[in-house]
Amino acid sequence: MARLVLKFGGTSVADIDRIRNVARHVKREVDAGHDVAVVVSAMAGKTNELVGWCREASPLHDAREYDAVVASGEQVTAGLLAIVLQAMGVNARSWLGWQIPLKTDDAHGVARIGDIDGSDIIRRFEEKQVAVVAGFQGIAPDNRIATLGRGGSDTSAVALAAALQADRCDIYTDVDGVYTTDPRIAPKARRMNKIAFEEMLEMASLGAKVLQVRSVELAMVHKVRTFVRSSFDDPDAPEMSDFDNPPGTLICDEEEIVEQEVVSGIAYSKDEAQISLRRVADRPGVAAAIFGPLADAGVNVDMIVQNISESGEATDMTFTVPSADLAKAVDVLEKTKAETGYDAIQSEAGLTKVSVIGIGMRSHTGVAATAFKELAKIPVNIRAITTSEIKISILIDSDFTELAVRRLHSVYGLDKV
Amino acid sequence: MARLVLKFGGTSVADIDRIRNVARHVKREVDAGHDVAVVVSAMAGKTNELVGWCREASPLHDAREYDAVVASGEQVTAGLLAIVLQAMGVNARSWLGWQIPLKTDDAHGVARIGDIDGSDIIRRFEEKQVAVVAGFQGIAPDNRIATLGRGGSDTSAVALAAALQADRCDIYTDVDGVYTTDPRIAPKARRMNKIAFEEMLEMASLGAKVLQVRSVELAMVHKVRTFVRSSFDDPDAPEMSDFDNPPGTLICDEEEIVEQEVVSGIAYSKDEAQISLRRVADRPGVAAAIFGPLADAGVNVDMIVQNISESGEATDMTFTVPSADLAKAVDVLEKTKAETGYDAIQSEAGLTKVSVIGIGMRSHTGVAATAFKELAKIPVNIRAITTSEIKISILIDSDFTELAVRRLHSVYGLDKV
């Protein structure tokens, strides 16, 4: 017998029929003798509708009122799933954030989870009662509803799993796991059985949109074993009852991954733009003078490359921003030219960042060289490179995205056999 | 400066534009210096959608889960109205039932209001903050959301007005007041300036669907001056700023009504059915044997007429039920024939109950005789009569509904001049 938190997203609860399907997944785990808490999102489309009304009411709106409006979507789903579960003979009740209580800070609209009191829910596990928890919401210190920001139900689920000391947090979604790369552009992509928290964090933030980044961070900090699986699988298929090895991808501590590959996956992010500042004065404080105003303007700067200057007087500074922010970034840079004292701005949109990710890199050399060689064979021009302990990111022209991803996927031995 | 509770129903908050119109009504009162609390219903159609989902989830559903689902409709409107008010420069915040708290009993789905703690709201009146309260909901002793039953927002508003010791509770609706009868069938119907609680109670329960009966009862008990007015009136029209005499109908204590008419209004209720039990044994307990099983079956019995039997052995018993319940009622009566021992059942649908209402009746004689004479002139056959202190109800064929209502309206001097 285990303790499980199951989380179902908006497409999984889009209507009553889909909610019935979710209930069958829940019932399967209950029938197997597990303690179950379920975290649900709003029915697909509902959150957008509610957010749209808030914007129509006023483009600038009080985040506390936004929270009261938008959190209602999850409230509805929680009640409906409890009703369906009861109709199937499963003891269940809904819990809203303020009822648990799931406490947050006071950053309404983008609140962070503080303390969760799981004692009531755990007590009811003894009566085999399933807790159906409205995701995405908690209660702030002002006794008002706070939401966790878009996609926050993943975070709710992981935080609840930590509070309940659950054995696993199963995230049911519209994909059946985490792949070595995007299967839409690389048909040989494989579903991973396991991936380390750190790797998933890189995959998530690099555009593999399976899980919210914050939820993975939280899972890593609290060591919550998090399992990504499909809500579209038949709930009663025989392989679904294989508790220790159902279809999907387990995100876990690296120690739990016995056969660690050197490279685990290839991620990519399109719509990047590159900005180069020519002959920037090479003196202390200049980087702050460039990136401070960009941050203030809400521009998300990513790869930063600065060469050592020959003369010691001036250097070139290159970095990337999302294509959508390019015009704003250039505008900010031109306005601050006096402080930064560069000669010229050059910029280019239509670029892609391809990333090679793997915890094994820490103990293997030559991983980067393999990537560079493979890209040279195509040939693809490398515009910028950044590296971390477990990741190499390479900026290339977007035209080569698919080709580069497929070739890197292949050269690191990730292709499906 | 006064303290006001304003209530707006579903059609008044059907979309953001309508909510903006509501906000203009609120702003007018705030600008006039009044303390204002606003009670809102769900946007038109939303409650039906939510109730529909609960039924689709399971025909028999846990009322506690139903409450969590359905109460979300008012939650959304409250947040949206607060946003719109803030955008107009009005200090406002939303309040959910559990935040006030508005405490109810544990009859989920049809809860009755217990204690309301208005202290937080009153404290914020000092900062000129408008309280935007989600109607129709409170918190039950189990710390879960409870709803008050359909139309419960009227009751929320009146109860809140009592708790806040408000000077008036303005119910904004899609009609502009209470009329002496239905203007759709009697064009000479007049809007009343004032009506006593007791009269309104008869009007409400007799089919003048302006206000929920429970809210009128509550207003009467707590002497809450309740004003029925239209949310479709231009919020900025000059007559709307006439605080003491705006367009609408005040429901108040009879003492506040200086020129009390003998008859205040004519109400009617179509779709009544009559059941006569022939030769019912005339002995103690027989009425209980008839009406007990009907009540258990949920049949709402209205007018009951029993004649004194000639022989002392058997009598005829006549009563009315809604036409929709006729088949069920007959079925129940046939099953219990052994206990009640009647000879035959006769029944007829397609009847109308016309009622003459007026507090002045208590001190005037001949009111009933006037009605009977007028109906005889048509001529309309009277099938049954019941009376109370302030009401005479007469059962007639539905074909004569409009004619009878117009003639009674005229004979009691209610026609518009």
Asked whether the beta carbons of A383 and A395 are under 8 A apart, the reply is yes
pLDDT for residue B321:
94
What φ, ψ does residue B375 adopt, rounded to 5°? -70, -35
Is the domain A265-411 a CATH 3.30.70.2470 member? Answer: no
| Alpha-carbon torsion angle B185, B190, B196, B197, nearest 10 | 40
pLDDT surpasses 70 at B46: yes
SS3 A99: coil
pLDDT surpasses 70 at A284: yes
pLDDT surpasses 80 at A307: no
pLDDT surpasses 90 at A336: no
Q: Residue A19: its chain B contacts at CB < 8 A?
A: 57
Per-window interface: A 23-52 vs B, CB < 8 A:
50
How many residues are present in chain B? Answer: 417
Q: What is the pLDDT of residues A89-117, one digit of tens each?
A: 999 999 999 999 999 999 999 999 999 99
CB contact under 8 A, A54 and B143: no
Q: Find the mean pLDDT for residues B352-375.
A: 91
Q: What is the pLDDT of residues B301-346, one digit of tens each?
A: 989 888 776 666 778 889 999 999 999 999 999 998 888 888 899 9
Q: What is the CA radius of gyration of chain A?
A: 24
CB contact under 8 A, B83 and A65: yes
Q: What is the pLDDT of residues B133-145, one digit of tens each?
A: 999 999 999 999 9
CB contact under 8 A, A79 and B69: yes
Inter-chain contacts counted by CB atoms under 8 A, chains A and B: 115
pLDDT surpasses 70 at A208: no
Q: What residues does CATH 3.40.1160.10 cover in chain B? A: 3-255
If one looks up domain B3-255 in CATH, what number appears? 3.40.1160.10
pLDDT surpasses 80 at A87: yes
Q: What's the whole-model pTM score?
A: 0.86
Q: What residues does CATH 3.30.2130.10 cover in chain A? A: 265-411
pLDDT band at B208 (very low <50, low <70, confident <90, very high): low
Instruction: Give the residue from B257, B269, B271 showing the smallest Cα distance to B181.
Output: B269
Q: CATH topology for A3-254?
A: Carbamate kinase (3.40.1160)
Q: Residue B83: its chain A contacts at CB < 8 A?
A: 54, 57-58, 61-62, 65-66, 69
CB contact under 8 A, B53 and A80: yes
* Mutation for testing the A interface, residue in B72, B84, B117 having most A CBs under 10 Å: B72
B47 annotated among ligand-binding-site residues: yes
pLDDT for residue A189:
94
B179 annotated among ligand-binding-site residues: yes
- Among A186-195, B160-169, B335-344, B379-388, the least confident range: B335-344
The verdict on A75 touching B (C-beta cutoff 8 Å) is yes
Please name the residues in contact with B386: beta carbons below 8 A apart, sequence gap of 6 or more. Answer: B303, B304, B305, B392, B393
pLDDT for residue B285:
82
pLDDT band at B4 (very low <50, low <70, confident <90, very high): very high
Q: Which residue has the tokens 């970034």?
A: A329
Q: What residues does CATH 3.40.1160.10 cover in chain A? A: 3-254
Ranges A152-156, A209-213, B230-234, B314-318, most confident:
A152-156
CB contact under 8 A, A72 and B75: yes
Q: Find the mean pLDDT for residues A227-233.
A: 92
Q: Find the mean pLDDT for residues A283-309.
A: 85
pLDDT band at B207 (very low <50, low <70, confident <90, very high): low
| Nearest Cβ partner for A76 among B50, B60, B79 | B50
Q: What ipTM does the predicted assembly reach?
A: 0.84
SS3 content of chain B, % helix, strand, coil (to 5): 40, 25, 35
pLDDT surpasses 70 at A309: no
pLDDT for residue A81:
98
Q: Looking at CA atoms only, how far is residue A85 from chain B in angstroms? A: 9
| b/e per residue A336-367 (b: at least 16 CB within 10 A) | beeebebeeeeeebebbbbbbbbbbbeeeeeb
Q: Which helix (H) or strand (E) is B393 found in, with range?
A: strand B391-397
Mean pLDDT of chain B: 92
Q: What is the pLDDT of residues B64-86, one digit of tens each?
A: 999 999 999 999 999 999 999 99
Measured distance CA(B334)–CA(B327) in Å, rounded: 11
The verdict on A64 touching B (C-beta cutoff 8 Å) is yes
For chain A, give the percent of residues with pLDDT over 70. Answer: 98
Q: What is the pLDDT of residues B12-27, one digit of tens each?
A: 999 999 999 999 999 9
The verdict on B82 touching A (C-beta cutoff 8 Å) is yes
**Chain A nearest-CA residue for B57:** A84
CB contact under 8 A, A72 and B68: no
Asked whether the beta carbons of B274 and B347 are under 8 A apart, the reply is yes
Q: Find the mean pLDDT for residues A67-89.
A: 98
pLDDT for residue B309:
67
pLDDT surpasses 70 at B55: yes
